[in-house]
Amino acid sequence: MAVNLQVQLARQPEGVPKPGDFQIGQGPRPAAGPGQILVRNIYLSLDPYQRGAIAGTFGPARLNQGDVIMGRCLGEVVESHHPNHKPGDIVVVESGWQQYFAVDGGAAGLVRKIKPEAPLSLYLGALGPPGLTAWGGVERLAPPGLGETFVVSAASGPVGSVAGQLAKAKGARVVGIAGSEEKCRLATQKFGFDACVNYKTADWTAALKAACPGGVNVYFDNVGGAMLDALLAELAAFGRVVLCGFISQYNVTGARATNNLGPLIAKRATMKGLVVYDFLGETDQFIKAATALWKQGKLATHEDRVAGIENAPAHFVKLMKGENVGKAIVALAPEKA
Ligand SMILES: NC(=O)c1ccc[n+]([C@@H]2O[C@H](COP(=O)([O-])OP(=O)(O)OC[C@H]3O[C@@H](n4cnc5c(N)ncnc54)[C@H](OP(=O)(O)O)[C@@H]3O)[C@@H](O)[C@H]2O)c1
């Protein structure tokens, strides 16, 4: 019998997940029913939201033991009973962490066909949902003006690196914040940021002030908590803050509120929440613009990749500890079967 390996929940994690919170299970390989396609998954995307999906704070329900972990894959259609798809098509599917997935070929939101013009795994990163998230923040919620200072945290990750590069393409001065010298080097040398501050050094707020002498016009926040407090204190007049993520709080119970809203009044500043789903209707426009930048060498990417579905749990734990350097990807199968 052809099998379908899956990563399932073994037990609800407490705090930062551990590899033992997951188990490798298997079921029979599914077949495509009427109107369905069968997808052979090639790359699995590991993303911070999956922590909330496991706990039930994001998505439909808290997972139970044996449930397949929620997640997105890029794969190849190997069987189709749907007029929009044929074998060999490349799709991004909300399949969960598993090797094969059968789904209604017309299920908008679950399946999106890709016409690849760049390496396939980028459609889970810079040219996929993380890139669209960055695009929504930079193009729609808080576009920086020419010469304005744009600061982004988690600067070496897929959202932060794309946000910074889109801001740079609009003529902003871009300052990253990241958790190691290696990540900062990536931000300045590969992604072309003007400066990057390592917040794990004792004097990082002084370094931030020095990097933003005129204050921060736009802060794209991926982290929340104490870092958001520190950045609010550095806003320029009429500063804009995009609240994209609060990863510093995902593994703690009782999310910490910001204590530092005073500067919003004094600086006449604004804060906007970002939800990537609001920009799904603009996906084609985003992919066209981002692909053009990528082809011009103005959208660099960096991956933290492992191979084999059995390595997905440890790779996710690494992401949850902030130890990933670049977009966390698991290669599940060769691109050509
Ligand atoms: N609102 C939306 O619709 C939406 C959509 C997609 C993603 N997001 C959010 O965007 C943010 C970035 O996502 P991404 O996919 O690009 O992730 P990512 O940057 O690859 O990974 C997370 C990074 O967060 C940083 N971090 C800071 N504090 C941390 C902590 N206490 N624990 C663990 N990591 C910490 C780490 O980098 P450093 O070492 O540099 O700190 C880590 O590498 C996340 O908050 C995510 O939830 C939001």
Q: Where are the alpha helices (DSSP H) in the chain?
A: 49-55, 129-135, 158-169, 181-185, 204-211, 225-232, 262-266, 283-295, 312-320
| Pairing verdict, β 36-45 and 327-331 | antiparallel
Q: 252 CB under 6 A from ligand 1?
A: no
Q: 126 CB under 6 A from ligand 1?
A: no
Angle at alpha carbon of residue 194, lines to 290 and 149, rounded to 5°:
85
Q: How much is the pLDDT for 152?
A: 99
Residue identifier of the C-alpha nearest atom 8 of ligand 1: 245
Alpha-carbon torsion (284, 319, 251, 142), positive or negative: negative
Q: 176 CB under 6 A from ligand 1?
A: no
User: Which residues make Cβ contacts (< 8 Å) with residue 284, sequence separation at least 6?
Assistant: none
Q: Report how far ligand 1's centroid is from the alpha carbon of 41 (Å).
A: 24
Q: 186 CB under 6 A from ligand 1?
A: no
Alpha-carbon torsion (242, 247, 252, 258), positive or negative: negative
User: What is the number of H-type helices and E-type strands within the chain?
Assistant: 9, 15
Look-up: residue for tokens 């920009």?
279
Q: Which one-letter DSSP state was computed for residue 67? A: P
Q: 124 CB under 6 A from ligand 1?
A: no
Q: 154 CB under 6 A from ligand 1?
A: yes
Amino acid letter, 236: A
Q: Report how far ligand 1's centroid is from the alpha carbon of 29 (Å).
A: 33
Q: 322 CB under 6 A from ligand 1?
A: yes
pTM of the prediction? Answer: 0.97
Residue identifier of the C-alpha nearest atom 26 of ligand 1: 322
Q: 223 CB under 6 A from ligand 1?
A: yes
CB 41 within 8 A of CB 333: yes
Q: Report how far ligand 1's centroid is from the alpha carbon of 154 (Å).
A: 6
Q: How much is the pLDDT for 60?
A: 84
Residue identifier of the C-alpha nearest atom 31 of ligand 1: 248
Q: How much is the pLDDT for 258?
A: 80
Q: Report how far ligand 1's centroid is from the alpha carbon of 10 (Å).
A: 24
Closest C-alpha among 220, 176, 173, 215 to residue 199: 176
Residue identifier of the C-alpha nearest atom 34 of ligand 1: 322
Q: 225 CB under 6 A from ligand 1?
A: no
CB 228 within 8 A of CB 197: no
Closest C-alpha among 298, 301, 276 to residue 289: 298
In whole angstroms, give the CA distance from residue 197 to residue 152: 10
Q: How much is the pLDDT for 256?
A: 72
**Top mutation candidate among 49, 183, 222 for ligand 1, by most atoms within 8 Å of CB:** 222
Q: 275 CB under 6 A from ligand 1?
A: yes
Q: 132 CB under 6 A from ligand 1?
A: no
Atom of ligand 1 nearest to the CA of 136: 3
Q: Indicate the length of the chain as a whole number.
A: 337
H/E segment holding residue 176: strand 173-178
Cα–Cα distances (Å) from 227 to 130, 166, 199, 205, 257, in that order, read 21, 22, 9, 10, 12
Q: Report how far ligand 1's centroid is from the alpha carbon of 45 (Å).
A: 14
Atom of ligand 1 nearest to the CA of 249: 31
In whole angstroms, give the CA distance from residue 136 to residue 156: 18
Q: Which one-letter DSSP state was computed for residue 256? A: P
Residue pLDDT tens, the chain, 337 long: 799 999 999 999 999 999 999 999 998 999 999 999 999 999 999 999 999 999 999 888 899 999 999 999 999 999 999 999 999 999 999 999 999 999 999 998 899 999 999 999 999 999 999 999 999 999 999 999 999 999 999 999 999 999 999 999 999 999 999 999 999 999 999 999 999 999 999 999 999 999 999 999 999 999 999 999 999 999 999 999 999 999 999 888 776 778 889 999 999 999 999 999 999 999 999 999 999 999 999 999 999 999 999 999 999 999 999 999 999 999 999 999 8
User: Which residues make Cβ contacts (< 8 Å) with residue 202, sequence separation at least 6?
Assistant: none
Q: 164 CB under 6 A from ligand 1?
A: no
